[in-house]
Each structure stands twice: as C-alpha cells, then as structure tokens.
C-alpha cells in the first residue's frame, strides 16, 4: 500500500508537476513537426518523473497505431487514463500504471489525474497543429499544380495552333516532291522519313491540344462498353508481343454515359499502352468498369514496377516521363488528365498489391 502523503509531500508533488508541464511546453515549442516521435517519447519520460512513485510507474502514450512507453510494465496493474483528441475526435490515450500487487487506485492523486488531462490536451493540440500544417501543404501543392497546368494549357494551345500550319505545309510539299522523284528511290526514302517525322509531330500537336482542352468536344450519351473494348482491341499486337493477358470486366453490358467517344478512346488507349510498356512479359492487365449510382468508375491495373513516391505528384505534368529518351513524349498522362477533367471527372493512382499500379477514373453521370 502507498504511504500517506504529508503537506510537505504535496508541495514536492506540485513542484514536480509544474516542472513537468514546463518541460513538456518546451518540448512542444521546439518540436520538429515533421517528426514528432522524439517529442512524444520525451513527454512520456517527463510525465513518469512527475508521478508520485516514478520508480514503480509505467507510462504509455498511444497515438493511432504508434505506442510510446517508459518505465516498468507490470502484467496486472492499476492505472489512470486520459484520452488524446484532435478536433474532438479520440485518436489515442495516455495511461499511467502501477503494479496491482503494491498499489491501489487510491495511490493516484487528484492532481496527477488533472496533470494527465493537461498533458493529453497539449499532445492533442500538437497533433492538431501538425494536421493543419500538413493539410495546408497539400492544399498549397494542389493550388500550385492547378496554376501550373492552367498556364501550360494556355501555352500549349498557342504552340499547337502555331505548329499546325507549317506541319500541314511540310506534309503537303513532301507529297508533291514524291511525284517529282518517282524514279529516285533514295529521294523517295528521304521524303518518307520527312513525312513520318511530320506525322509524328502532328500527333504530338494533337496531344497538346487534348491537354489544353482546345479541341471541340462532341458529347453525347452512349454505351461506353464497346468504346472501351474497341480501344483495347487496337492494342492486340502489343499484348501478343509481350504475351500479356488483358482481363476485361464490366458489371453491365450497357453502361450509358455522356462522353466524347474519341476522347474516351484516347484515355483508355494511353493508360493501357502505358500499362503494357511497364508490365513484365506474361503479366496481367485488368480493366474493371463499375457502374455506381452517381458515377462510372474505370480501374486499370498492371503488374509493373509501380510509381516511385518521388514521382507521384509529377506524372500528370506535361513532358514528364520516366521512359528512356525517344520512347515517350511525356504527354500521354497529361492528355488523360486534361480529358478526364474536361469531363468533370477525376483520376487517381495507387499501388497495386503486391506490385504495379492501379489508375482509377471516376466520371460523373450528370
């Protein structure tokens, strides 16, 4: 049983509690908000020292799945507990315990219970500040990205319009020159190279115009099942080349949606051809189309190497690519992003367990 506490003991306990609160305030004021674990551990140690019998006490601070503890941890114990809350939602707790064989619930002072509540409140305030700063950082990055994309949209629209005319001239004059060099094989071959390069450049311009949403949309309600099937059928040689199995799954045979059929084909084509590129031989690509009450969800998953965390926020930026030089323009995913946004939808990606990536597109019905 714990000994009776005298007036002198009470005074010493008050000093210990005040010292603890001061130390905890200092820890929180100087906390590295990006890594609060050392601060929480230091708070646990300070709290243990402030208890009446620190040599026999155990302190456990639980925050979501993270546990911070110090001192003895008896199997059977008596304890006091206080909830840690952020924005009035419990996310953890602080527990101080003694061995049940030596102490009882009466061994804790009322002031210690109040101290526990104050520390729980301080930790809750720290976690709220961390959450607010993280949300502000996410919002700031989203705003910066939106601004960049808006500026790039204007720039690329201008570039696309400026390039269309000279590219048309190059193609036209190349065809005229072919007629003049009908019997000159070398010249014809060189002109073919010019023509092919101009056609490739024209395709890049089309992608730029898709990205800038400067191409007129022809929106109408249509069954998207055959559109998706046709887009994937275009890639049959690519599947055969790497012996990849493409598994299509539609929850309904008729999934009506108001879309631009050509642009939806572009979205599916780009995402699936990317999946093929990054998939290993004999891999599996899954395309799953789900019809919900409010929207249509299209999931495209692969078994590739996945997206590095460092590139996670850049993959939809125009001209960003992880492919080797000459194998990608970096416009495919930015085109997809632009088309999906123009349809008032959203596109996200997440890891495919155990490996690969899942792209999820949500297109609203209304």
Residues 335-343, mean pLDDT to the nearest whole number:
86
Q: Do β-strands 295-301 and 284-291 pair in parallel, antiparallel, or remain unpaired?
A: antiparallel
Q: What would the CATH number be for the domain defined by 7-137? A: 3.30.450.40
The residue assigned the tokens 């809350």 is 85
**Contact status, residue 76 vs residue 100, Cβ threshold 8 Å:** yes
pLDDT digits (tens, 9 = 90+) for 98-120: 998 889 888 898 889 999 999 99
Cα 160 from Cα 165, distance rounded (Å): 9
Cα 229 from Cα 220, distance rounded (Å): 18
Q: What is the pLDDT of residue 213?
A: 54
Tell me the pLDDT of the chain averaged across its residues: 85
Alpha helices in the chain (DSSP H): 7-29, 37-50, 110-180, 185-211, 224-233, 236-241, 261-278, 332-342
pLDDT bin (cut points 50, 70, 90) of residue 360 is: very high
Cα 215 from Cα 164, distance rounded (Å): 13
Vertex 351: Cα angle to 300 and 346 (nearest 5) = 55
Selection from 80, 110, 105, 111 nearest residue 1 by Cα: 105
Residues 240-253, mean pLDDT to the nearest whole number:
91
Cis link prior to 354 (omega < 30° from 0)?
A: yes
Residues 288-316, mean pLDDT to the nearest whole number:
86
Q: What is the DSSP letter of 105?
A: G
Instruction: Tell me how far the alpha carbon of residue 41 is from its chain's centroid.
Output: 29
Instruction: Tell me: pLDDT of 215 over 60.
Output: no
Measured between alpha carbons, how far apart are the two ends of the chain, in Å? 71
Residues 14-38, mean pLDDT to the nearest whole number:
91
Residues 272-298, mean pLDDT to the nearest whole number:
91
Domain ranges of the chain: 7-137, 147-211, 219-364
Reading across the β-sheet that carries 346-351, which strands appear in turn? Answer: 245-250, 284-291, 295-301, 357-364, 346-351
What DSSP string describes 265-326?
HHHHHHHHHHHHHHSPTT-EEEEEEEE-SSEEEEEEE--SS---GGGTTTTTSTT---SPTT
Percent of the chain past pLDDT 90, that is, above it, reads: 39
Instruction: Tell me: pLDDT of 237 over 80.
Output: yes
If one counts every other C-beta atom within 10 angstroms of the C-beta of residue 137, the result is 10
Instruction: Tell me: pLDDT of 231 over 70.
Output: yes
Handedness of CA 66, 70, 76, 79 (dihedral sign): negative
CATH topology for 219-364? Answer: Heat Shock Protein 90 (3.30.565)
Residues 178-206, mean pLDDT to the nearest whole number:
83
pLDDT digits (tens, 9 = 90+) for 58-102: 999 999 989 999 987 767 889 999 999 999 999 999 999 999 888
Residues 124-130, mean pLDDT to the nearest whole number:
93
Helix, strand, or coil (residue 59): strand
**Contact status, residue 98 vs residue 107, Cβ threshold 8 Å:** yes
Q: What is the pLDDT of residue 310?
A: 72
- Least confident span in 124-128, 164-168, 270-274, 327-331: 327-331
């Amino acid at each position: 049983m714990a000994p009776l506490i005298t007036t002198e003991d009470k005074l010493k306990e008050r000093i210990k509690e005040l010292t603890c609160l001061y130390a905890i305030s200092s820890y929180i004021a100087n906390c590295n908000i990006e890594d609060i674990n050392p601060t929480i551990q230091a708070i646990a140690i300070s709290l243990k020292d402030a208890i009446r019998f620190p040599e026999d006490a155990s302190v456990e601070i639980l925050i979501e799945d993270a546990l911070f503890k110090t001192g003895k941890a008896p199997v059977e114990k008596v304890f006091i507990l206080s909830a840690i809350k952020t924005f009035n939602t419990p996310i953890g707790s602080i527990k101080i315990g003694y061995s049940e064989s030596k102490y009882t619930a009466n061994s804790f002072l009322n002031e210690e219970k109040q101290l526990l509540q104050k520390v729980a409140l301080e930790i809750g305030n720290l976690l709220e500040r961390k959450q607010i700063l993280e949300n502000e950082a996410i919002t700031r990055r989203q705003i910066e990205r939106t601004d960049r994309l808006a500026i790039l949209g204007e720039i690329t629209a201008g570039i696309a319009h400026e390039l269309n005319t000279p590219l048309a001239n190059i193609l036209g004059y190349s065809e005229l020159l072919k007629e003049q060099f009908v019997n000159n094989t070398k010249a014809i071959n060189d002109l073919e190279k010019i023509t092919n390069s101009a056609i490739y450049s024209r395709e890049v311009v089309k992608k730029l115009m898709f990205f800038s949403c400067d191409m007129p949309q022809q929106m109408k309600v249509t069954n998207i099942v055959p559109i998706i099937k046709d887009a994937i059928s275009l890639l049959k040689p690519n599947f055969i080349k790497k012996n990849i199995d493409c598994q299509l799954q539609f929850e309904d045979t008729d999934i009506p949606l108001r879309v631009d059929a050509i642009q939806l084909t572009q979205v599916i084509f780009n995402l699936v051809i990317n999946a093929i590129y990054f998939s290993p031989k004999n891999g599996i690509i899954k395309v799953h189309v789900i019809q919900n009450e409010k929207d249509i969800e299209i999931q495209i998953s692969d078994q590739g190497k996945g997206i590095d965390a460092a590139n996670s926020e850049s993959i939809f930026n125009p001209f960003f690519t992880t492919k080797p030089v000459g194998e990608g323009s970096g416009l495919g995913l930015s085109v997809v992003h632009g088309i999906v946004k123009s349809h008032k939808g959203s596109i996200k990606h997440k890891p495919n367990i155990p490996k690969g990536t899942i792209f999820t597109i949500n297109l609203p019905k209304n």
